[in-house]
Structure 1
Amino acid sequence: MSIKISKENAEHYIWGGVCDGWHLVKGQELSVIHERMPGQTAEVRHFHERSRQFFFVLSGQAVLEVEGVRHIIGSQEGVEVPPGVSHQMRNEGAGAVEFLVISQPTTRGDRINEE
């Protein structure tokens, strides 16, 4: 059954103590998460053994470090990260950044932290 989903009715969670996530699609084969990172925050560097991810910035500017290469991602831009590739999303600015993380298959149980 299809239902309309938004941040207002999606399952919400907090990660990193101050960052927000909303599960827009939460399936075994596909995950779509809307995330918000306040200024000067970063995710732990990690990789996924099976999951391929696509990070797409909705507003603000993020830095996605992939295998030591810095990608500055502005609004309406994205970067794909294949399985097995180390990456870290950061917000080095003062304002919040909002972005989508699309993962196939889901990343649940498939994350290996490196720090």
Structure 2
Amino acid sequence: MTGKEIDTAAQEYENLKGHAQALQEKLVHVTNDLREHKRVLETIEDIDSDRVAYRLMGEVLIKETVKEVKPYLSNTIASLQEVVKKLEEQLAGTEKQLLELRDKIETK
């Protein structure tokens, strides 16, 4: 590799590293959201289904019943689990690219 190619590869490595860090931060955020939604669902599981419950939509609290909130929480949990899975796959792919690029730079 020429000096210019090494510089280009190093820049690409730094870009990938930044992308991996952003993916990791997003994964932590979504995982925390998932944990919170699960905790809420567990908390209301044994509560009377006709009891009033509030759900935050944007910046507005919506008054509903527990039986109306449970399906929403279950769907949200399923969606968040799917997002976590996709983020983990993307992160694994990015980390693999980082290792391959690092090996390429070090061997040249």
Report the structure, 1 or 2, having the larger strand content: 1
Whether TM-score is above 0.5 comes out as no
TM bucket normalised to smaller: under 0.3
Q: TM-score, normalised by structure 2?
A: 0.26
Which fold has the larger relative contact order, with Cα–Cα distance below 8 Å and residues 6 or more apart in sequence? 2
